[in-house]
Amino acid sequence: MIVIVDYGMGNLRSVQKALQRVGGEACVSDRPEDVARAERLVVPGVGAFGDAMRALEERGLVEPIREFVRRGRPVLGICLGLQIFFEESEETGAAAARGLALFKGRVVRFGDAVVRQGLKVPHMGWNAVEPVRPSSLFAGMSEGGVYFYFAHSYYAEPADETVVVGRTEYGIRFASVVARENVAATQFHPEKSQAAGLALLENFVTRF
């Protein structure tokens, strides 16, 4: 069973339907015991980093997610889910919010370098993801880049470049897919990305 973590901040049903469409048996839950019993875990999210971490803590889900990872089971973060997999975010201002720390690094906002090029923040719409390292998530996809749907104002700056498996150009080149061992995350929304998104989710279900 794939458990989609419900902390009140994601397109949960869209993710569930997409996973079911590629053959995954998926349920939505905010119960720590369901997380503990899952075979695979998906952590989606839309909204603010600090709010997401508070919601996870209030539901008692922080340690169950970390324990799930420690046990070597596959987990996928989506959009805000990717961001909270990092150590901290500048989104809350001077007092950086702390994340799950599954990856080392921090989350920062698109800055002047993007705006000076006439690009809007948030970054919304279709954009290419270029694979930069081999990953089972990209199995069967074009090596030259695949288009996915984005909606975000912040992006991750990994401390360890070896976790970056996909990058996207939006004024700067940022890490749009990260993965290490049993943990992966995408800044884009695969559940909104039509055939390419379904292919990536199927790879997570069957190969990752």
Q: Which residues are catalytic?
A: 79, 189, 191
Task: Kindly give, in sequence order, each residue whose CB lies less than 8 Å from that of residue 194, ignoring residues fewer than 6 positions away.
Answer: none
Task: Kindly give, in sequence order, each residue whose CB lies less than 8 Å from that of residue 155, ignoring residues fewer than 6 positions away.
Answer: 107, 108, 110, 174, 175, 176, 187
Query: What is the distance between the alpha carbons of residues 116 and 105, in angstroms, rounded to a whole number?
Result: 25
Query: What is the distance between the alpha carbons of residues 74 and 204, in angstroms, rounded to a whole number?
Result: 8
Task: Kindly give, in sequence order, each residue whose CB lies less than 8 Å from that of residue 189, ignoring residues fewer than 6 positions away.
Answer: 11, 78, 79, 148, 149, 150, 151, 197
Strands 105-109 and 88-89: what pairing?
A: parallel
CA-based angle 192:116:144, to the nearest 5? 45
